[in-house]
Amino acid sequence: MPLIACPVCEKQVSKRALACTGCGEPDPARYHSRNTWLGRLFWLAVWVGIGVFVWIEVVPMVMALFKQ
């Protein structure tokens, strides 16, 4: 049975373990994939926010410059 280091407490735990026996981290084998997903979701929200800001603030300013 392959062992991996828990990403939180670094105790050796089975890849099939549902939780780390040392710290209780749920599903330590998928810790990095969860963090990657949350990181991508965060940056998607940031880019959407920037896009909304540009659409509401910058586009009307540029359109006003071209109307003159």
The string of pLDDT tens digits covering residues 21-67 is: 888 888 877 766 666 788 889 999 999 999 999 999 999 999 999 88
Question: How much is the pLDDT for 8?
Answer: 85
Contact 4, 28 (CB under 8 A): yes
Residue 17 Cα distances to 29, 37, 45, 64, 67, angstroms: 8, 21, 33, 61, 65
pTM given for the model: 0.50
In whole angstroms, what separates CA 12 from the centre of its chain?
A: 25
Question: How much is the pLDDT for 32?
Answer: 65
Question: How much is the pLDDT for 34?
Answer: 66
